[in-house]
Amino acid sequence: RQADHAGTQELKDVLWSMATLGFGLSSSQEHTGNNYLILKSDRRLEDSQLMVETVDIVVQRSIRMLPKFLSQELNNIAWALARLLRNNNNVTDTIGLRVQKLLRGIGEQLADPRRDVKSQDIGTTLWGMAHLEFFDGDIYQGVVSRLISPDYTSRCKPQEFSNSVWAMATAE
How would you label 81-94 residue by residue, b for 16+ Cβ within 10 Å and e otherwise? bbbbbbebebbeee
Rounded to 5 degrees, what angle do the CA atoms 145, 157, 87 make? 75
Question: According to the model, what pLDDT value does residue 32 have?
Answer: 43
pLDDT digits (tens, 9 = 90+) for 125-142: 999 999 999 999 999 999
pLDDT digits (tens, 9 = 90+) for 41-81: 788 888 889 999 999 999 999 999 999 999 999 999 999 99
Quote the pTM value: 0.88
Nearest Cα residue to 34 out of 42, 22, 24: 22
What region does 40 belong to: left with phi over 0, alpha with psi -120 to 50, or beta? beta
The share of the chain scoring above pLDDT 70, in percent, equals 91
Cβ 139 vs Cβ 108: under 8 Å:
yes
